């Protein structure tokens, strides 16, 4: 009882925190300028023609703004946003029910679209192309198919694993864009904006240092700010300066490159138990007691971006930089492997 109360309270807090700081328009969506420029054209032209924009696919690591962009697009178009996710669509009927309820111009956002079951995915093809659904009624000899007309809508898909999306689905999106990790200066802007909204003053040195430790990810930047605000409040500091920020992040075991406990464990396991690699991702995940998909989607892209990890044909390998970062001697006869 106690724990369910606590978790729902936490979820509500999380929801209201998200709601407060999530940008509502392109102007407040920091960075990603090339993508914003294209969206400006796409949305502007659709508005001029009084039509729905084409279906859009956003991909990239979690926390970079895919959901935020979907809500901004709905906002800019003055459309209703209907939100679901791949794992939530368990049967074709779930999807059909949702689609037949869409009104003209609605935006349907499917998060983790790579997790939509292949059989269900096939219903998306005519829906995206011709705004129609082919529904199968009954089964066996009396089975017949009826075509249901849908209102025109825009599908926005988000995924952390674009490689897992089938090509028939991928090609039905008129606009596809990758979201990249954010540079520290942009994350600093995001932290400054959130600090105003949350009334949690932070000085420039602290916000820059916090930005550098945010793994290039706005969601992490905002979470670190929220943690530092709580830390400052508990220690009676009126604002967050560099020393408060460092102490707060030390408690979370986040180092100066933004690596957290799991990142460090990944690298130390490769170095200490697998002689620096190569080691397969499943073996690594089992040794760490973590899902391999989490390693693939969350940890590895950042470790690779920092040049601490390499993915070779034979598995994961720690780089010389990783040895240096962890203060381990780099073996002279280290096997460098091939990059896949
Ligand atoms: P994703 O869907 O890619 O996992 P979200 O869209 O949920 O990521 O973004 C996570 C949080 O980060 C959001 O609450 C939003 O406030 C913030 N955020 C993401 N991108 C930006 C951005 N470009 N500018 C400002 N805040 C952002």
Which residues line the pocket of ligand 1, CB cutoff 6 A? 18, 21-23, 29-32, 62-68, 158, 190, 218-219, 222
- Ligand 1 centroid to residue 235 C-alpha, Å: 29
Atom of ligand 1 nearest to the CA of 68: 6
pTM of the model: 0.88
Please determine, for residue 339, whether its predicted confidence score (pLDDT) is greater than 70: no
Which of 25, 29, 63, 85 to mutate to test ligand 1, by most ligand atoms within 8 A of the CB atom?
63
Mean pLDDT of the chain: 92
pLDDT one-digit tens code per residue, 240-294: 999 999 999 999 999 989 999 999 999 999 999 999 989 999 999 999 999 999 9
* CA dist 256 → 180, 211, 214, 230, 250 (Å): 21, 10, 10, 20, 9
Which of 68, 162, 195, 216 to mutate to test ligand 1, by most ligand atoms within 8 A of the CB atom?
68
pLDDT one-digit tens code per residue, 45-90: 999 999 999 999 999 999 999 999 999 999 999 999 999 999 999 9
What amino acid positions are annotated as catalytic residues? 66-67, 111, 160, 219
Of all protein residues, whose CA lies closest to atom 16 belonging to ligand 1?
22
Atom of ligand 1 nearest to the CA of 221: 12
Q: According to the model, what pLDDT value does residue 135 have?
A: 82
Q: CB-based contacts of 317: which residues, under 8 Å, 6+ apart? A: 270, 276, 277, 278, 279, 309, 310, 311, 336, 337
List of long-range contacts for 68-73, beta carbons under 8 Å, 24+ apart: 68/22, 68/23, 68/29, 69/29, 69/39, 69/156, 69/179, 70/107, 70/109, 70/156, 70/158, 71/22, 71/24, 71/109, 72/23, 72/24, 72/25, 72/26, 72/29, 73/39, 73/43, 73/107, 73/154, 73/156
User: How far is the C-alpha of 223 from the C-alpha of 208, rounded, in Å?
Assistant: 15
With b for 16 or more beta-carbon neighbours within 10 A and e for fewer, the 127-150 pattern comes to bbeebebeeeeeeeeeeeeeeeeb
Lowest mean pLDDT among 160-164, 224-228, 330-334: 330-334
């Amino acid at each position: 009882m106690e724990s369910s109360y606590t978790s729902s309270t936490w979820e509500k807090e999380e929801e209201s925190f998200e709601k407060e700081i999530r940008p509502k328009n392109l102007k407040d969506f920091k960075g990603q300028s090339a993508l914003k420029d294209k969206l400006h054209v796409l949305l502007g032209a659709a508005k001029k023609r009084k039509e729905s924009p084409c279906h859009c696919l956003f991909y990239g690591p979690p926390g970079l703004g895919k959901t935020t962009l979907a809500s901004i697009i709905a906002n800019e178009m003055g459309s209703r946003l209907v939100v679901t996710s791949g794992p939530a669509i368990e049967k074709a009927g779930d999807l059909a029910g949702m689609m037949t309820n869409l009104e003209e111009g609605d935006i349907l956002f499917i998060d983790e679209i790579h997790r939509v079951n292949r059989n269900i995915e096939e219903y998306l093809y005519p829906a995206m192309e011709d705004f129609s659904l082919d529904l199968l009624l009954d089964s066996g000899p009396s089975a017949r198919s009826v075509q249901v007309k849908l209102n025109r809508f825009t599908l926005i898909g988000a995924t952390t694993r674009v490689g897992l999306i089938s090509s028939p689905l991928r090609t039905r999106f008129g606009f596809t864009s990758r979201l990249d990790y954010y540079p520290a200066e942009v994350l600093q802007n995001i932290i400054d904006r959130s600090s105003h909204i949350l009334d949690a003053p932070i000085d420039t040195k602290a916000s820059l240092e916090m930005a550098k430790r945010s793994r290039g990810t706005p969601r992490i930047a905002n979470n670190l700010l929220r943690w530092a605000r709580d830390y400052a409040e508990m220690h009676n500091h009126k604002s967050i300066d560099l020393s408060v920020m460092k102490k707060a992040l030390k408690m979370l075991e986040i180092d100066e490159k933004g690596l957290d406990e799991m990142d460090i464990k990944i690298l130390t396991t490769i170095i200490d138990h697998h002689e620096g690699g190569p080691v397969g991702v499943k073996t690594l995940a089992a040794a760490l007691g973590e899902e391999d998909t989490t390693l693939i989607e969350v940890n590895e892209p950042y470790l690779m971006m920092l040049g601490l990890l390499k993915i070779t044909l034979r598995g994961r390998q720690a780089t010389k930089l990783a040895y240096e970062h962890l203060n381990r001697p780099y073996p002279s006869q280290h096997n460098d492997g091939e990059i896949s």
